[in-house]
Every structure is written in C-alpha cells, then in structure tokens.
Chain A
C-alpha cells in the first residue's frame, strides 16, 4: 500500500454481541475445560489422599474436603465436569450429523444446560454429604 492509513478499529465488544444459547453453551464448554485443566493438580492430590493408606492421609483428606471453600471449588468443578461432559456428547452427536439443524441445535443446547445443572444438583448433594 502506498498510502499510510490509520489503524482501523475493530468492533468486537463481546458483551454487546448477542449469541444464540448454543453459543453460550459452547463458551462454557471451553471455560469449564480450562477450569478443569487448571484444577487438575487439586483433583489428583485429593485422589492421592483418598487412596493413600494410613491415618495422616485420611485425616488430611477429611480436613481438606471439610473446608467450605474447597467444597465450593469442588462443586464448581463438578458442574464444570458435567457441563463439559454433556456438551461433549452434544458435540459428538453433531459430529455424526445428529442435530445439526438450527432448531435442533438450540433444543440440544437447552438440554445440555438443564441436564448438566440437574446432574450437578444430584451429585452435588452427594458431595456435600446430604445423602
């Protein structure tokens, strides 16, 4: 280019762009995946404590999981996992050409949201020791 042009602005104000529900579900798929990745050390550590022999392990495990903050993190991770799981199934189905139409994609996105939240509730209560 011969002429110097001013750098052009780009309109990309994400909060102003309206996405379909499937779009948000998709973003959450990435967010939940990233969250799970970041929290992997915690999860592996907890696995180690839960499976380790001896009193110290058992004691530490109950102290750590007894902490309300940890409980909340675990609850969040549980949801993240379940959302990622449900959304993953949806993606796999789309990959084999099931539910690729606009309306179906919307319905399945709603289903993912509802089912993952419902499952979080079911297993969350278990996690919190309600039953």
Chain B
C-alpha cells in the first residue's frame, strides 16, 4: 500500500517565512546596488570600510540568515516536486539543510572577522 503523506501543517509558516525573508533580501539588495553605484566597490579599502560599518554588518548578517532560510524553502520545494522516492528525497533534504547551515556559518564568520 502506498501511503500519501499529506496533512502536515507547516505550509503557511514556510510560505510566510519565504515572503518575509524575501522582503528583507529585497531591501538589502536595493541598498547594496545603490552602494555599488555609489562606488563602494571602487577600491579594496573603501569596500572593507563599507562592509565593516556596524549597520551594514548587521543587515548583511540578516541577509545571510534570510537567504539560507529562503533557499531552504525554495530548494525543498524543488525536491518535493521532482524527487519522488521518499528516501532519496529525505536524504537530499538533509544534505540541503546541512549545506545551507554550513554556508550560513561560513558567511557569517567572514563578516565577523572583519576588523
């Protein structure tokens, strides 16, 4: 017998989370693109100073966390659509989760280490 697993109740939560993180990232994107046009990538020194700013550092941190959560929901949706065998799918879910947590840690410590 094939059992259909539906009836989970995290649909709304994930959906909302994806929207909220999207809004955070969109705002960050606008700021960063404006900064780029403003010339913060002009030289290494300017770039370092810009990224070391407390506020920028904070929103970058927020961006990284949002990105990883957002990607988690998105990538999980992809696996849910295209990968049918449950064991492979769950494995992929776990790998995705591990990768994203790893990326988040890595990126955050880059920001942290800034002088």
Contact = CB atoms under 8 A, between A and B. Distances in A.
Consider the complex of A and B and state whether they touch directly, i.e. have CB atoms less than 8 Å apart.
yes
Given A37-B71, A44-B107, A95 B48 contact: no
Chain A, interface size category, equals: 20 to 34
A30 B29 contact: no
Interface string A95-106: 100000000000
Interface in A17-53: 30, 33-34, 36-37, 40-41, 44, 47-48, 50-53
Instruction: State the main secondary structure of chain A at its contact with B.
Output: helix
A81 to B, nearest CB: 8
Given A34-B78, A40-B71, A123 B36 contact: yes
Contacts of A66: none
Contacts of A58: 44
Interface residues of B, number: 25
A50 B75 CA distance: 27
A41 B78 contact: no
Given A37-B74, A50-B47, A51-B114, A44 B106 contact: yes
A89 interface: yes
A44 B103 contact: yes
Nearest to B75: A37
Nearest to B74: A33
A47 B23 CA distance: 22
A81 B23 CA distance: 14
Interface in A81-131: 81, 85, 88-89, 91-92, 95, 123, 126
Given A34-B78, A41-B103, A51 B51 contact: yes
